[in-house]
Structure 1
């Protein structure tokens, strides 16, 4: 084969496998994918939807990253799970399937990324997945009448479906309660323009009732291709860069396999798909990053770009558990690991593919605006006072552009800068034995409904950087949760709105009056000062980090351009969640799939252009 068409894709996660599958549709293009993790595609802990919590924090499946002590959270250290296996985080996440917003994607283009907007990206959102048509019974029980059949994707590789929980009253009550509070579903969530309460699908194959991820959807059907090579257990240590020409040129990747260094040459390009923490780490290990940082670690500087590893964004969330009335089914007996409950659930899943083990993480959610709701004053003067009091203090060249966007979303009555979501199990937010063990180690007797508030567009911008030249060392991750004062103002008000939700019919009828709540919950949820203190103690991550190698103009904080090429070096692109300029409105996985699909087309167009030039 023509070695000039060889690609090396670093990372066999979500985006890496999408691009590998698409590029190797051309038999003349060869692709090698080194992946640090192993192949757990057939592992029942990965395939069984409800067992995702059992692998979080395990070094065999999870990079098990942790933040630095967070100033905005009273010094709390937050665990950040990221998939370390074929399929990446798509193989260990909670399987929630939530669409991004048109306003968020359109902002990418407004920041200076030519050709990136909702109209361009929307076909790629539809391309990567299929949503199974829910039954009439499911539509009625989950109150899914807002779905638009004309928007439903029907022929993509990733399979998504709605949960079959017709004996659970909570989901329907949730949708009706939010509607009663002025938050009815405004339309189909996949339209890009949506607010209100909703039930989201999950990446679960409705035929097999197993997780559908990048490994099963993209790799499994094509793994026998002669032009595709996947190497597991291969840690990428650095890029190999030729600096003898006018511009540095990436010619390969050094990996460590079975304890030995191995060079994989790239005749065409190297594509980084190592994730929001792995991609900036590999750039810095290879001499692409802040000169000051690299020289301090005795790493030769190839490209001085202080934007590498900056602009990190994530969705902080904070929740509270409420005791439910007798007879309401929850997952508490399973989360307490009661043997009889686990045995019964496993028996039902094994024989019928139904029951608690057939369902992933949370599927009861919402997208809620700020004006006229969520405890914020409706008059513009008071809203202006709050926005102006919480001045923009986040450093960096992207900060003013980012702040302008976030302020526009806060003011837009048709957009949602935050959400509330719920699941039927107790959660231990305080003290700090939370994180990955938040549900699985709950020991409180009884049955509970947990409701969380999440901030979807935080103004706090963090960072992820190497602290050593050793590739085996984990990066230093500082999301700076709630350090921007407006983030605390907004998240606290979303959390306070939970009090209205639980006091409103029909949801209130399923909660015990004066029932128990989770540990250290605020006594008076209407007291904003008390709520703020609880938020700082109890906040966690939604595990949605993005933007550490942002697609932006260089002077606005960019690491890659609109073709996803790394500034200052040839033959190198980044394609993963790190390139998203701003946090997504909801779970990032749908957007990462869409971006990877579009990236494959961009790269294929470049290949065709090269062929034309050579001809």
Structure 2
């Protein structure tokens, strides 16, 4: 390993590997990537798309974070899955491939981030991926006519594809039902302006039918480069800051490898890519953060920035499972780990690369406005709700800008503010576990076949925080997302959940569900009563595992930690490139936005140092 690399990247997840691969395209640029976890890229549980739930709650693959007891969730503690190891969360996620919204991306610039809008970011969404269509028969069955080649990637590293599905009636029925309700796919989501029901792509290689993550897409082609050094099992405990000049400068990192502790110093800069929870933790351990938090821990404050660790945003979601009609196949037998079903599915995958194991399972989705807020009566309903749910869940400098954006976007009839998506198995949203039990119903539940419909709130007003509670680098930070504390969040999410009752009573989905059939444990028999629905949301809502914004790219005076060049305010030679800098919760899954941000960040770094 080069003892004096040009760049030290802390974290070998999605963003870290993208930046490392792009910088080392120049043979004269040396990069060291430090990753706490290991390389699990050859593990069949990582490579096989359908096995991703088996990775949840596994300490070798994830950080096993937990929230504080949630005030807006009757004190429930929420598991927060984040990938640990090369590839980060791209190696353990459900592989849904959803682009951000133009409205949301343009808001980044409106907040004061010059050069960050859809016009600038759109090309990076294309740059990082390649989309492949399935057969014409599958395209027709999955209603993929919305795909617009002009906004899709054609030669990017990450492979995105669709299931080779021509038989299962549920995905097509989902899309057709939403179309019948007035929400056909209005275009391609990668245009930034789409809304409606659709079948989304997944980060799965269409040829090998294996997960396409940051390891296979970026590290694989780059790992043989002599100027790229990947070190696993290396935990960065602190950023070394030189305080002799007027402005502190990051000159290295303190690294622990087992019992060995060393200092690694780059010649150019340190890039933090430790994730939405790990990055603010490292800043605070290094004396960059709020004096109010750091001084009681006997940490010398070098840069007093109270925004570090604040503005945490995530997508709360809940779901209802409905028993399907006789003859409709689901994945419940696999969820219950019935040997015969597992054996047959694995055999099909190993021999033909088809069947349920070749897909992540949750590809039928939507990006919807809230029907309750449409039309003159709906506008009045929204106005009344905004008036009655005033106030900020998180007082702070970003509150006014954030609140104004959310209030505005809720009233846009062509903007998806909620995500309704399906999973062909019974859910277990009442579970307190962090593993597979969150998604699958387990062995103690009543056998049967179910379709789960999930509702996720895409632009929550509630913002939380992540802060260290100890100067010990081995201690996990305190994480409080403040789910549903802002009353408007509960009102919106409950209304989306209530809308599901209308969806299941609409053809063609209606005929595929058992009329009067069972629902998951604790679910109301009828969601039409809003108060009942709110109670269920309070008892069942979990995280989509899409946290962002804990070191937001914003002007410092309105809550920022990094500048539009992703440089940490008040520190030279220190940049952040991960989901923590995203200033606003993304529309849907955030992995595509992290890839796009990392690609743009690599170009910014190259520009700053004249790297060709």
What's the TM-score once normalised by structure 2's chain length? 0.97
Deviations 1:185-227 (A, max 9, x none): 1111111001100100000000100000000100011101111
- Asked if the contact 1:348/1:354 (under 8 Å) is kept, the reply is yes
Residues 63-78 of structure 1 mapped to structure 2, 5 A cutoff: 63-78=63-78
In 2, Cα distance between equivalents of 1:36 and 1:463: 23
Structure 1 unpaired stretches of 5+: none
In 1, Cα distance between equivalents of 2:36 and 2:192: 35
Deviation at 1:373, TM superposition (A): 4.4
SS at match of 2:377: coil
Aligned equivalent of 1:390: 389
Aligned pair partner of 1:567 in 565, 569, 576 = 569
Deviations 1:370-393 (A, max 9, x none): 2x4479973433321111111122
The question of 1:196 aligning with 2:181 is answered no
Aligned equivalent of 1:519: 521
In 1, Cα distance between equivalents of 2:517 and 2:3: 67
Change (3 A) 1:249 1:86: same
- Asked if the contact 1:318/1:539 (under 8 Å) is kept, the reply is yes
Deviation at 1:497, TM superposition (A): 0.2
Aligned pair partner of 2:530 in 528, 531, 535 = 528
- Asked if the contact 1:3/1:268 (under 8 Å) is kept, the reply is no
The question of 1:24 aligning with 2:24 is answered yes
Deviation at 1:522, TM superposition (A): 1.4
Deviation at 1:5, TM superposition (A): 6.5
- Asked if the contact 1:427/1:442 (under 8 Å) is kept, the reply is no
In 1, Cα distance between equivalents of 2:474 and 2:540: 31
Aligned equivalent of 1:412: 412
Deviation at 1:2, TM superposition (A): 11
- Asked if the contact 2:271/2:574 (under 8 Å) is kept, the reply is yes
Deviation at 1:396, TM superposition (A): 1.1
Deviations 1:120-151 (A, max 9, x none): 11111100000002321111111111222332
Runs of 4+ in 1 over 6 A off after TM superposition: 1-5, 374-377
Deviation at 1:119, TM superposition (A): 0.4
Aligned pair partner of 1:508 in 507, 510, 516 = 510
Aligned equivalent of 1:34: 34
Residues 45-444 of structure 1 mapped to structure 2, 5 A cutoff: 45-370=45-370, 372-373=371-372, 378-394=377-393, 395-433=395-433, 436-443=436-443, 444=445
Change (3 A) 1:454 1:112: same
C-alpha RMSD of the superposition: 1.6
In 2, Cα distance between equivalents of 1:527 and 1:292: 45
Aligned equivalent of 2:455: 453
In 2, Cα distance between equivalents of 1:382 and 1:425: 35
In 2, Cα distance between equivalents of 1:435 and 1:57: 4
In 2, Cα distance between equivalents of 1:524 and 1:17: 47
Deviation at 1:507, TM superposition (A): 0.2
In 2, Cα distance between equivalents of 1:436 and 1:265: 41
Deviation at 1:524, TM superposition (A): 2.8
Deviation at 1:115, TM superposition (A): 0.7
In 1, Cα distance between equivalents of 2:372 and 2:490: 17
In 1, Cα distance between equivalents of 2:2 and 2:465: 40
In 2, Cα distance between equivalents of 1:383 and 1:439: 32
Deviates more, 1:493-502 or 1:376-385: 376-385
Change (3 A) 1:66 1:248: same
In 1, Cα distance between equivalents of 2:374 and 2:73: 22
- Asked if the contact 1:199/1:365 (under 8 Å) is kept, the reply is yes
What's the TM-score once normalised by structure 1's chain length? 0.97
Deviation at 1:326, TM superposition (A): 1.2
- Asked if the contact 1:375/1:496 (under 8 Å) is kept, the reply is no
Aligned pair partner of 1:582 in 567, 579, 584 = 584
Structure 2 unpaired stretches of 5+: none
SS at match of 1:378: helix
Deviations 1:87-129 (A, max 9, x none): 0000000000001000000000000001111001111110000
In 2, Cα distance between equivalents of 1:477 and 1:248: 28
Q: How many residues align?
A: 609
- Asked if the contact 1:251/1:269 (under 8 Å) is kept, the reply is yes
In 2, Cα distance between equivalents of 1:241 and 1:432: 41
Deviation at 1:153, TM superposition (A): 1.4
SS at match of 2:262: strand
SS at match of 1:505: coil
Change (3 A) 1:275 1:436: farther
In 1, Cα distance between equivalents of 2:391 and 2:540: 24
In 2, Cα distance between equivalents of 1:240 and 1:28: 25
In 1, Cα distance between equivalents of 2:397 and 2:15: 27
Aligned pair partner of 1:494 in 484, 488, 496 = 496
SS at match of 1:221: helix
